[in-house]
Amino acid sequence: MKVEAHSQSLKGLTYLVTGSTDGIGQHTAINLAKAGGNLIIHGRSQQRVDASCKRVREAAAGGWVKGFTYDLSCMQSVQGFAAAVRQDVPTLNVLLNNAGVFEQRMSKTGEGFEMVWAVNVMAPFLLTSLLLDLVTDRIVNVSSISAGSSIDFSNLQQEKGFSSHGSYSLSKLAMMAFTAKLAKRLPRDGPTANCLDPGTVNTKMLEAGWGMCGMPVALADGETFLATDPSVKGTSGEYFNGSRLGAMRGEARKTKVQDRLWSVLEQQTGAVWP
């Protein structure tokens, strides 16, 4: 299903897209800006944030574009990011947790967490908790068709030996479970929460893990669809393959798994949920 990025007006609506200095995140931000939306661009390099803001502004149809530079591998930085956003904007219509990493080798953050787990899971969990009361419409989390089938809670930090694909697939299964649990917690008149596999897209991440075997970034409109399309208004706690409803992993649907993961992430991040 092809998504026409500018088929509807998003004038007056505000979107935060993490990891939007390149790849699918930047493409999604440009799509939203073309339709008139206000954009918060995020990245960890000031130079790349500035360059991305310039590209998004050139495509914009009337909305404003603001850039924020924060490192999502550091939970203290995530807190700073949320505080800066809260100080700058009163409302977020959509929070799109797009940022993610694939690591070839084991590395730890300055706070002692395995890098993939920290960026792909802990950061969106904490950021969402800190901004939740600002979000009016939708929360979109990025998972993957490469998500694993089970969560080994004794190996969340790759204690049993690092695997590049194992750490990534674990993080994306955790994002499914987080999304399903979050949807249960949200009030009926509040925002929805869904996750998606954005497709096999020729990004730096795909090249690092699988090689350039996908479609051009310019065709990766799944995030735009889930963030804007009227057909999914009211849909919550689901997983999409691009713009099509998919089947969430059974493990992610288990209440015991969701509850245990939520508790672990609260302890790791210090998140306090409203």
- Reported as a single tens digit per residue, the pLDDT across 74-90 is 999 999 999 999 999 99
- For residues 101 and 116, the answer to whether their CB atoms sit within 8 Å is yes
Q: Which residues on adjacent β-strands are paired with residue 114? A: 108
pLDDT of residue 220: 86
pLDDT of residue 6: 44
Residue partners of 256: CB distance under 8 A and separation at least 6: none
pLDDT of residue 204: 56
Which band of pLDDT confidence, cut at 50, 70 and 90, is reported for residue 200?
A: low
Over residues 219-227, the mean pLDDT reads 92
pLDDT of residue 116: 97
Backbone angles phi, psi at 172, to 5 degrees: -80, -30
Predicted confidence (pLDDT) at residue 209 exceeds the cutoff of 70: no
> Nearest Cα to 3, choosing from 262, 266, 219, 258?
219
pLDDT of residue 19: 97
- For residues 107 and 118, the answer to whether their CB atoms sit within 8 Å is no
- To the question of pTM greater than 0.85 for the whole model, the response is yes
pLDDT of residue 210: 46
Q: What is the mean pLDDT of the chain?
A: 92
Predicted confidence (pLDDT) at residue 212 exceeds the cutoff of 90: no
pLDDT digits (tens, 9 = 90+) for 24-61: 999 999 999 999 999 999 999 999 999 999 999 999 99
Identify the structural domains of the chain with CATH numbers, from first to last.
14-269 (3.40.50.720)
d(CA 162, CA 154): 13
pLDDT of residue 218: 75
User: Residue 24 carries which DSSP code?
Assistant: H
pLDDT of residue 217: 73
> Nearest Cα to 102, choosing from 159, 46, 163?
163
Which band of pLDDT confidence, cut at 50, 70 and 90, is reported for residue 202?
A: low
Q: Which residues on adjacent β-strands are paired with residue 16? A: 40, 95
Q: Is 20 helix (H, G, I), strand (E, B) or coil?
A: coil
pLDDT digits (tens, 9 = 90+) for 110-164: 999 999 999 999 999 999 999 999 999 999 999 999 999 999 999 999 999 999 9
Q: Quick one: how many helices (H) and strands (E) in the chain? A: 10, 8
pLDDT of residue 216: 72
In our burial notation (b when 16+ CB lie closer than 10 A, e otherwise), range 143-164 reads bbebbbeebeeeebbbeeebeb
d(CA 101, CA 117): 9
d(CA 209, CA 191): 33
CB atoms under 10 Å from CB of 264, counted, come to 17
